[in-house]
């Protein structure tokens, strides 16, 4: 079954936060920091990663799109744009475990790219962790090419 992609609505917030936590387990910087250094303060990595969704909503709620099947949100993608640089960025993309393998992630990326084109962006960027084999396969298959690698360091203070 295919998913319908539609604009984000405020009622979607908790669902996409839950999808974020499920989808980024083992493949986020926040989770890697916690695994290496332990819990930071009174909050775990899930709280920190869910805050990224709040930041996406604050930055550009109209640039968030959700995938829905049978009335249930099964995935989402967030976008940000720098009009002066003509660059669109995809900060977050996640699909529920039960809906993976159906092309929903690819459809969300294609939707985001079309959104960027209509807004005059000339390039689109997305990043993934080395620990995310799905991203490393999906993104090139959607036309992205690897440009650079980044290494994250952290220490306790």
pLDDT level of residue 91 (50, 70, 90 thresholds): very high
Percentage above 90 pLDDT, the chain: 97
Q: 15, 6 in Cβ contact below 8 A?
A: no
Would you state the torsion angle of the CA atoms of residues 40, 43, 46, 50, taken in this order, to the nearest 10 degrees?
A: -120
User: If you ran DSSP here, which 8-state letter would residue 43 be given?
Assistant: B
Distance between CA atoms of 110 and 108, rounded to whole angstroms?
A: 5
H or E element that contains 81:
strand 72-82
pLDDT at 1 over 80: no
**Residue 53 pLDDT > 80:** yes
Tell me, what's the pLDDT at 79? 98
Q: What is the pLDDT of residues 101-131, one digit of tens each?
A: 999 999 999 999 999 999 999 999 999 999 9
> What pLDDT, on a 0 to 100 scale, did the predictor assign at position 102?
95
Each residue of 2-44: pLDDT tens digit?
Answer: 899 999 999 999 999 999 999 999 999 999 999 999 998 999 9
Quote the mean pLDDT of the chain. 95
Whether residue 151 contacts residue 33, with contact meaning beta carbons closer than 8 Å, is answered with: no
Q: How many CB atoms lie within 10 A of CB 139?
A: 22
- Topology of the domain comprising 4-141: Aminopeptidase (3.40.630)
Q: Is 18 exposed, middle or buried (0-12, 13-18, 19+ CB in 10 A)?
A: middle
What pLDDT score does 2 carry?
80
The more confidently predicted of residues 41 and 82 is 82
How far, rounded to the nearest angstrom, does the alpha carbon of residue 10 sit from its chain's CA centroid?
Answer: 17
């Amino acid at each position: 079954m295919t998913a319908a992609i539609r604009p984000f609505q405020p009622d979607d917030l908790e669902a996409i936060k839950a999808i974020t936590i499920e989808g980024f387990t083992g493949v986020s910087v926040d989770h890697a920091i916690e695994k290496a250094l332990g819990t930071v303060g009174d909050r775990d990595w899930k709280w920190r990663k869910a805050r990224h969704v709040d930041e996406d909503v604050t930055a550009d709620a109209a640039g968030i799109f959700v995938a829905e099947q049978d009335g249930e949100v099964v995935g989402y993608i967030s976008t940000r744009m720098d009009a002066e640089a003509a660059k669109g960025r995809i900060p977050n993309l996640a699909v529920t475990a039960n809906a993976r393998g159906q092309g929903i992630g690819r459809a969300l990326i294609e939707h985001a790219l079309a959104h960027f084109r209509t807004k005059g962006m000339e390039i689109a960027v997305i990043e993934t962790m080395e620990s995310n084999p799905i991203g490393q396969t999906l993104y090139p298959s959607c036309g992205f090419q690897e440009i650079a690698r980044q290494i994250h360091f952290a220490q306790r203070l």
